[in-house]
Chain A
Amino acid sequence: MGVFRHVMVSTQWLHDFCQRHKKWLLILSVSWLAMALTWSVLLAPSDYQQGDAYRIMFVHVPCAAFSMFFYAMMGACGLMTLVWRIKLADLWMACCAPLGFLFALSALVTGAIWGQPMWGTWWVWDARLTSELLLAFLYVGQLALRAHYPHPSAAAKPCALLAIVGLVDLPIIHYSVVWWHTLHQPASVLAFQRPTMPGVMLWPLLASLVGFAFLSLAWLAWRMPELIEQREWRSQWVQAMQGQQPFIGDT
């Protein structure tokens, strides 16, 4: 509970914490991703049907998974913004939106690049693909809505509402391959029974997932202090940190 209170309440503590850890997080994420992708491209065996094209999975699956994860996180933060009016929850939402959009866009594009050699088409209006496209549009809506308001705190409530309403898309994305007959394959990693993938392919995929998780943490650790500075620029501690004199009239 103590850590939660710091991460969600104390802007100065979170700012200092991110500043302290952001560099090693970036180094860790880049080296981990380099290791995981080298493993997946050079050491994992080729698929007997898809050949080397299946290796797109090692970036496609993490991007799709994190696009959903960050939307869920935004929804949870939206709820905290509306119910408890926690200022940092809104900042977390603002921090996650561009990152989630990058993951959704990457998932869609890498999926299309994978679909062309395997399905013979870049795109179909399949339930999984369409619901993921909707998720990308929800992220765009979130970014546009936030940019629309000149004062960031005014955007908190509408952005929180949009994030919560958009949560309905997440189960649709996940269960689309179960509810409808789709060209997209059913879940093979997060299947409730054992994963349907052999270990020699599953382990590099998990390593890649961990690498993208570190990359996301590094992104958040770099972006969050900047957002805090922009939101709290009238605070004395931000002005003192930037070596600036406080405004006349500021207390």
Chain B
Amino acid sequence: MVLHWPHQYLAYLLAAYGFVLAVFLSAWCWMRWAHRRWREQMRLMGRR
């Protein structure tokens, strides 16, 4: 393994990877939630 633990730059590396992961995960969850909410609104509008 090339990466040396612990390393002074490791915090920056983890912060960068963690940020991208968090941003994409939350956007994904928001996307799912928004569409579910829209479907629920359609259902409540009496489309059944």
Contact = CB atoms under 8 A, between A and B. Distances in A.
Given A53-B9, A105-B23, A245-B47, A113 B15 contact: yes
A102 B28 CA distance: 11
Given A223-B31, A239-B47, A52 B7 contact: yes
A226 B19 contact: no
A233 to B, nearest CB: 7
Interface residues of A, number: 38
B16 A56 contact: yes
Contacts, number: 80
Looking at chain A's contact residues, is the secondary structure mostly helix, strand, loop, or mixed? helix
A247 B20 CA distance: 43
Contact of B38 (A41, A63, A230): A230
Looking at chain B's contact residues, is the secondary structure mostly helix, strand, loop, or mixed? helix
Q: Interface size bucket, B side?
A: 20 to 34
A244 B48 contact: yes
A113 B2 contact: no
Interface string B15-37: 11101100110011001000100
Contacts of A109: 16, 19, 23
B47 A113 contact: no
A128 interface: no
11 contacts: A42-B2, A44-B2, A52-B13, A56-B13, A59-B17, A59-B20, A105-B23, A106-B19, A113-B15, A215-B24, A247-B47
